[in-house]
Amino acid sequence: MAISYFVAKTDPETYSIAQFAAERRTNWDGVRNAQALQAVKAMKPGDRVFIYHSGGVSAVVGLAKVAGPPCPDPKDPRSWMVAMEFTAMIDPPVTLSGIKASGLFNEWALVRQSRLSTMAAPEHFVDWMRSKYPKLKI
């Protein structure tokens, strides 16, 4: 079974990568946008998720693994959630300005739709991240 890759955004003041690293596991919830919900519903256990801080310096700051199948959010009937396990910090973080400056991802929703909270990550981004962080198990 092929592994898929996604990006999930969080405001670090609401839920930071440091908090996720300390807790080791979380239910990723609060997604309501229809396009972002499609991404959440497409996640499968074992898929990888780049965690992205969207407040302050926008950047990819960590990596997680999908730990269970997506399911309806019991706190919000309009939303779905998925369990995730923290896997790694990305240090130094990969800034959105650096992603844009590469010129390689102009068609990607991360660059084109800044408000979209959750999305698939294209394979060429995954390869690019592997080349930047060869010691990280991406």
Res. 114: pLDDT tops 80 = no
Cβ proximity of 62 and 86 under 8 Å = yes
Q: What's the rounded Cα separation, in Å, for the pair 41 and 134?
A: 29
Q: What's the rounded Cα separation, in Å, for the pair 119 and 113?
A: 10
Taking alpha carbons only, the member of 1, 101, 106, 107 closest to residue 59 is: 101
Res. 1: pLDDT tops 70 = no
Q: What's the rounded Cα separation, in Å, for the pair 88 and 49?
A: 11
* Structure-token match 């269970």, residue found: 68
pLDDT for res 77: 86
CATH of 5-132 given 3.40.1160.10, 3.40.50.970, 3.10.590.10, 3.40.47.10: 3.10.590.10
Q: Is the pTM of this model over 0.85?
A: yes
Average pLDDT of the chain, as a whole number:
94
DSSP letter at 114 equals: T
pLDDT for res 4: 97
